[in-house]
Structure 1
Amino acid sequence: MRRLAGELGVTQPVLYSAFAGRQALIDAVALAGFSDLASALEAVEAAPMARMRAYLDFAAAHPRVYEAMFSLPSGLAFAADDTPAPLRRAFAGIRDAFPDADGTRAEVAWSALHGLATLQASGRLRAGQARARLEHAHRLLTREMP
């Protein structure tokens, strides 16, 4: 909170007057991130490759927000009756590109994209192979299953 306050040019009490605590701030950043991710996905056609690129581009362009969305502890409910609208909207952006009867295909696609985004951001994958990985993931995720 101290570092964030310094980066924003405000004092910690100002932050705490707007948010109940660190968790509330993280959740607010995550919710805004999911809303922005949903907008990025909706801005392109619902074709799998377009949505996959938009997802990975968002993660690469906003690494700290992406971290708040997925890596930091969250008080947000995922895949539950009380899942906040921005999370549902972001998942719908993936589901529209990978439709099936119950959303399982979209969950697998999202998992694969998250893995790629996280491993690429941490430098654990070879630098020059991002496009090849994306194309391979696309082939795997769009292949008809028996």
Structure 2
Amino acid sequence: MTSVMLPHLKDSVSELLFVLCDQDANLFIHHVGYGNGAGFLMSRNIMIQPSKHNDHSEKPINPITGQYVENESPSLVNMTDEEKEREAEKLFVLFERLKKTGVMDVKNPIEESIKSGKFFEMENDDKDQEIIEVSII
């Protein structure tokens, strides 16, 4: 439906899908997504009103992508501590990549806390162990 090299095939496929949807623009958008169907509908001068209420399905659908929208946010309850730590590390790596590319200026909260004096090193009183603890004020 978005092919630039095959304009006749693009039109034919779009027309076929539109006819299969009983020439209902809202049903067509429901099945192919607004991004894919907008050009075809515009070329045919068919106006639609994207609505929040969808008559064709029980699940809410994103009108731009045509994908089902998940109402539930991801839950951390079912994750183990190790899985939570892995996800936090992945997020940290992504922020570091953004910082290196210059897309956005990301500041590490731990580095900021150390610079502001919220973290400091405490030596253990036990002379046998050379453990250094980090405390948060």
Q: TM-score range by the shorter chain?
A: under 0.3
Calculate the TM-score normalised by the size of structure 1: 0.25
More helix by share: 1
TM-score by length of 2: 0.26
Structure richer in strand, relative to its length: 2
Structure of higher RCO (CA pairs closer than 8 Å, 6+ residues apart): 1
